Structures are given as structure tokens and as C-alpha cells.
Amino acid sequence: MDIETLYALRSSSGLPSHPAIFLILLVLTWALHMIAVHVMLGSTALALTGAFSSNAHGRRLAGPMLDTAKVAVSIAIVIGVAPLLFVQVIYDPFWYVSNVLSARWAIAFIVVLLVAYWAMYHHYFVGKDGGSATSRWSLALSLALLLAAGFIMHALASQALRPELWMAWYAPEGHLETAGSGIHEFNLGRFLFFIVLAAPVTGAWLLGCRRYLACREQSDAPYLEWIASLGNKLMTGGGFAALICYAAWMATLPDSAAGFPVSLWSIVANASILLLIVTPALFRSASGSYAPFATATGAVLLIAIAREALRHRILFGTHGYELSTYAINLDWYSNALFCLTFAGVGGFAIAYSVAISWEAGKTPGIYTASPRVDRLGGFALAALLVWIAQYFFVGFLVMAR
Ligand code: HEM
């Protein structure tokens, strides 16, 4: 695909702000999306293995892991919207072509997610006390469908990186293929790498859980020790598995990414995986620690930057696509509204939800919110009301003009 055609596919209304801002937000929010995806996949897998296991600790952990998975699915989906918006804004020529070429899969993605969510809740409601055989299988179905949703995302991201093949996919041997029913490109090493990373991230999450539960379940030392040892094993073993998948991905990169495996960012990605492997040895603490999860978050962020560097290597390095030439139609109102909504409405709402769950989880018996958390809830509500008021105010102003 020649560069003029790629530029012609850009939105004619331009960008409301500099592309670098969207690029940074894309990487940041995608890293957050992946952390939620990893915790979601890991906790679902632990809930599933616990449901089928005869190990008492494993069966016990299955309950809290299912609770974690339910919340993590929602967070993964909600946070996934942010990179979806940013990728559409700055990489629209690539993202939309890829989606149109596999339109049926892009639409099926929603249905797959709906059924996955439903199947998880089926297990939650029907299988609360250990679970019937059917409900356990519905959890297995949920995990399989979540992986399928991830695979669709992976295929869409991969196809977007192969503009040189689009015409061959769209009009094979000159015949138009408009059904949008094919998956044209995927890389198993890359897909497995992003999935397998769920093991070290969930391991780090478990080490945090062990620390969190230490104050509440002191009498439960053997169970807490078991959680910590599982967390350590997942971090180290899962890290090694991720390293192998990363090598498989790098070994099968297309020619358009030549040189990337030995680039600085690829070395940073390798170092991040090694960091995950050695984290349990770095933070050995008898009562667990939150530091491994903070480290895992940093490692995923670095991997997200490396992933973006690969996109830059292919789209700019090989195809000559320059993000900086995107026309800008600076729109202060929408920029300010975005930032204030993110920080004000989202910030207070998330801080309130996290604070109340944090305190409630640490309190044995009935929990009553502290005055500080109560105040935070008030701020969250006030921010939402101000947002709604400004929405109608500006709307009326525009209509009155
Ligand atoms: C809940 C199941 C999901 C899983 C397991 C999942 C997993 C993944 C994986 C593995 C990737 C990396 C693909 C690659 O680079 O090869 C990815 C990318 C992405 N996902 Fe998700 N995802 C899920 C749901 C969602 C949802 C609901 C959204 C949006 C609402 C979303 C938005 C995105 C976006 C925008 C990208 C990056 C595309 C790009 O940079 O080109 N994901 N996801």
C-alpha cells in the first residue's frame, strides 16, 4: 500500500490535539487494559482449577478468585475502550481497514464477550457452594471465550501492521472478498506472549493478596503461606514461559520489522520479563508485599512501550507513515473536557470504589464507611453532577448560537 493511499484514509477533520498526546495515552491506557486482562485471565484460571481441584487451599482460593475475575472482566472491558479510542484516532487508516477486512469477527467480538460474561455469572450464581459439574464447565467456557476475544483483538492488531498484504486479502486473484469473514493474519508467539504474561502478573497479585489478608486472617498461616508460594511460582515459572513465547514472536516477525529483535526496545522488553522472573527473590517477605505488583505494573508498561516501538518500526520505518503529519484542529474545549472528566469524574469515582473496597475487605464483620471515605463518595457524586450540568449548559449555549 503506497503512502499517499494510507494518508488518504486519515480522518479529514484532523486531530483535536497533537498526535504525541494520543500516542502517550494509547500506550498508558493499553498497559492498564493489559494488567486488568492479565488479572482477569489468571484469576479465572485459578477459579477454574480450584473448582476441579481436590486440594483444600486450591478450592478455598477459587471463591475469592471468582470474585476477582468478575470485577477484572468489567475493568478490562471498560479500560479497553480508552486505547480503542486512541488507536482509532491516530492509527485510523490501519485499524479501520483491519476491522473491515474481518468485519464479522469484529462484530462477533461483542457477542463472544457477552456469552463469556454470562457464563462466568452462571457459574457464580449456580455454583456458589462448590459448583455443579455444569456450572464448572460454564466457567471453562467463559475462560475459552475470553481467550477467543483476546485472539480477535490480536488478529485485528496484527492485520493492521501488514498494509502490504491488504489488497491480496481484499481482492485475492482479482475477486473482491467483501464478506469480512476471514482472519488473515496472526502470530501465535505474539498472542501467547501477551496471554502467558497473565501468570507472572497474577502471581504478583497473589503476593499482594497475601499481604492484604495478613491482617485479617492471621490464624490462617498455612493458607496464606500456600498463596505466597503459588504467587512466587507463577511469577518465576510464568516469566520463563513468557520469555520463550517472546523469543518465538521475535523469530517469526515479518521482514517489515527487520532488526527489531536486537533493538533497544526489544532489549528493554527482555529485561522487563527477566525482572518479573526475579521479583520473588527481590521482595522476599514473610507477610507478602505489594511491591511485586507495582513491579509487574512497571514491567507491563515497558512491554507496552516496546510493542508500540515495533508498530513504529513497521509503519514508519518500512512504510514511511509519519504520525506527526496528521492535521491538527486544536479544540481546547474537548481537550479540557477530556482531561477534567478523566481526572475529576473518573478519578473520584475510582478512588471512592477502591477506598471503600479496601477498607471493607480489611474489616472483619460488618463494615461502616469511615468519614474520610464518606467525604470521598460525596466528592464523586458532586463531580458527576457538575459534569451533567456543564453538559446541558454547553449544549444549550451551542443551540442558542
Ligand atoms: C475481555 C477480553 C479481552 C482480552 C483477553 C483482550 C486481550 C488483548 C490482547 C492479548 C491484546 C494484544 C493484541 C496484540 O497486540 O497482539 C489486546 C489489545 C487490545 N485490546 Fe483487548 N482484550 C479483551 C477485551 C478488550 C475490550 C473489551 C476492548 C475494548 C473495548 C479491548 C481493546 C483492545 C485494544 C484497543 C487493543 C490494542 C489494539 C492495538 O493497539 O492495535 N480489548 N487485547
pLDDT in tens, 48-57: 999 999 999 9
Q: Ligand 1: which atom is nearest the Cα of residue 187?
A: 16
Q: Is residue 106 part of a domain?
A: yes
pLDDT (mean) for 317-340: 94
- Among 59-68, 247-256, 285-294, which is the least confidently predicted range? 285-294
Q: Please report the pLDDT score of residue 214 as a whole number.
A: 81
| pLDDT of res. 1 | 83
Q: Is residue 321 part of a domain?
A: yes
Contact 38 CB / ligand 1 (< 6 Å):
no
Residues 355 and 371 in one domain: yes
Question: Alpha-carbon distance 259 to 271, whole Å?
Answer: 18
- Write down the pLDDT at residue 218: 63
Mean pLDDT (the chain, rounded): 94
Q: What is the mean pLDDT of residues 100-111?
A: 98
Of 328, 247, 270, the residue nearest 11 (C-alpha): 328
What's the gap in Å between 245 CA and the centre of ligand 1? 18
**Does residue 153 have its Cβ closer than 6 Å to ligand 1?**
yes
Residues 326 and 339 in one domain: no
Domain of residue 68 covers 3-173+185-330
Q: What is the pLDDT of residue 265?
A: 98
**What per-residue confidence (pLDDT) applies to 336?**
92
pLDDT of residue 390: 95
Q: How many domains does the chain have?
A: 2
The answer to whether 127 touches 119, Cβ cutoff 8 Å, is no
**Are 317 and 340 contained in the same domain?**
no
Does 180 fall in a domain? no
Please give the number of the atom of ligand 1 that sits closest to the Cα of 94: 41
Ligand 1 mutation target, pool 24, 25, 33, most atoms within 8 A of CB? 33
Q: Of 283, 301, 330, which residue sits at a domain end?
A: 330
Burial class of residue 277 (count of CB atoms within 10 Å of its CB; 0-12, 13-18, 19+): middle
| Residues 206-232: b if buried by 16+ CB within 10 A, e if exposed | bbbbbbebbeeeeeeeebbebbbebbb
**223 and 318, same domain (yes or no):** yes
Give the distance (Å) from ligand 1 centre to CA of residue 153. 5
Same domain, 301 and 336: no
The rounded Å distance from CA 150 to ligand 1 centre is 6
The reply to whether 138 and 208 lie within a common domain is yes
Asked whether 42 lines ligand 1 (CB < 6 A), one says no
CB-ligand 1 contact for 37 (6 Å cutoff): yes
Confidence category of residue 215, pLDDT binned at 50, 70, 90: confident
CA of 277 to the centre of ligand 1 (A): 24
Specify the 3-state DSSP secondary structure of 130: coil
Report the pLDDT value the prediction gives residue 356, as an integer from 0 to 100: 93
**Position 178 in a domain:** no
Question: For residue range 391-400, what is the model confidence (pLDDT) as tens digits?
Answer: 999 999 999 9
| Most confident segment among 127-131, 226-230, 364-368 | 226-230
End of a domain among 330, 356, 385? 330
Q: For ligand 1, what atom is nearest to the CA of residue 76? A: 1
The pLDDT of residue 219 is 65
15, β-bridge pairs: 328
The verdict on residue 199 lying in a domain is yes
Query: What pLDDT is stored for residue 28 in this prediction?
Result: 97
| Cell representation of residue 345 | 469524574
Q: How far is CA 336 from the centre of its chain?
A: 25
Give the tens place of pLDDT for each residue, 133-165. 778 899 999 999 999 999 999 999 999 999 999
C-alpha cell at 198: 497473565
Q: Which of 330, 349, 372 represents a domain boundary (last residue)?
A: 330
The pLDDT of residue 365: 81
Q: How would residue 206 be classed by pLDDT, with cut points 50, 70 and 90?
A: very high
Query: Which of the listed residues 107, 153, 314 should we mutate to test ligand 1's pocket, taking the one with most ligand atoms within 8 A of CB?
Result: 153
Q: How far apart are CA 172 and CA 158, in angstroms?
A: 19
Do residues 124 and 68 touch, judged by C-beta distance below 8 A? no
- State how far the Cα of 270 lies from the Cα of 316, in Å rounded to an integer: 23
Distance 263 CA to ligand 1 centre (A): 25
Among the ranges given (129-138, 271-280, 342-351), the one the predictor scored with the smallest mean pLDDT: 129-138
Cβ of 77 below 6 Å from ligand 1: yes
Are 206 and 290 spatial neighbours (Cβ–Cβ below 8 Å)? no
Give me the pLDDT at residue 224, please: 93
C-alpha cell, 285: 517477605
Report if residue 8 sits inside a domain.
yes
User: 363 and 324 in one domain?
Assistant: no
The set of residues, in sequence order, having a beta carbon less than 8 Å from that of 87 and lying 6+ positions away, is 26, 95
Q: Which CATH number belongs to the domain containing residue 263 in this structure?
A: 1.20.1630
At 244-261, the pLDDT tens digits run 999 999 999 999 999 999
- Beta strand extents in 294-367 (DSSP E only): none
Domain assignment of residue 179, yes or no: no
The reply to whether ligand 1 has any atom less than 6 angstroms from the CB of 190 is: yes
Q: What is the pLDDT of residue 127?
A: 72
Cell numbers found for residue 13: 477533520
Do both 238 and 361 map to the same domain? no
Left if phi > 0, otherwise alpha if psi is -120 to 50, otherwise beta: which for 320? left
65 and 166 share one domain: yes
pLDDT of res. 213: 87
* 288 found inside a domain: yes
> What is the widest separation between alpha-carbon atoms in the chain?
71
